[in-house]
Amino acid sequence: MSLKKINQKLVKKNKRLKEECNELKQKKTFSENDLHGIDFAMWDCDPTTFTYKDIEVTMVAYNTDCAEKDEIIKKQTHVVSTQTKRVKELLKKIEDLKKKIEKKFSVFHDIAEVIDPDYEMNGHLNSEKYEEIKKKRKEIIINDPKINFGDLLFIGSTYETRQEYGFVVVKNKEEGQLFGGEDGSSIPLDNKELKDIKYKKAILKMKKDYPEIYEIFSYWDEEEENEIENNYKKQNMWD
């Protein structure tokens, strides 16, 4: 039984005893029926000399006992509340530690055509609609549950011959903020906030499923075999 239910029962019992006392208060003596069911072991008296005074004294003791129990319940409730809060804090710390221990892999997303439906036809973002495109881009980053901090995105560029400017990395999902740069492959490497994220899966997915975009991504690299991979491995950001 919970502490709350025990307290409720004690309050009800106290109320009932007070009502019985009020009924018996006018009596100087008690009949056999009045005394039926009373546990005289509670009082140091004989049933034949049992008086209203005995009940009154006992009620005072009973009320004191209830007050003490209320204080105990109050203290226990506070202890439980404090312990519950502490447990929640510890569980959160454990989850945070798990996240730090677990490897966080970046994911690649191509959203150029999503934010500008004419991107494929034009080969670049429409500069005349750039403010509208920026607003849509921000909304997608904030609201798409698949896009997270550290993810590598291709969003395109308004510069027709400089699509390598069209790579960004998510900096703050809640506010739709991004890391950008002129060289897509160096963006993660140049930002210390991304140092705990691994980019192997994102880059290899791009290379396999989006070869044309990967060619833009590696425009300034790959002079040597696996140059991009080696650059990320040097900073422990590959896998």
pTM exceeds 0.75, yes or no: no
Tens digits of residue pLDDT in 182-203: 889 999 999 999 999 999 999 9
pLDDT at 4 over 70: no
pLDDT at 154 over 50: yes
Tens digits of residue pLDDT in 32-69: 555 555 544 444 445 555 555 556 666 666 667 677 77
- C-alpha to C-alpha distance for 182 and 217, rounded to whole angstroms: 10
Place of tokens 């008086």: 51
Place of tokens 């049992």: 50
Please list, in sequence order, all residues whose beta carbon lies within 8 angstroms of the beta carbon of residue 197, skipping any fewer than 6 positions away: 104, 105, 106, 150, 188, 237
Tens digits of residue pLDDT in 77-116: 888 888 888 899 989 888 877 766 667 999 999 999 999 9
Task: Delimit the domains of the chain by residue range.
Answer: 3-101, 104-234
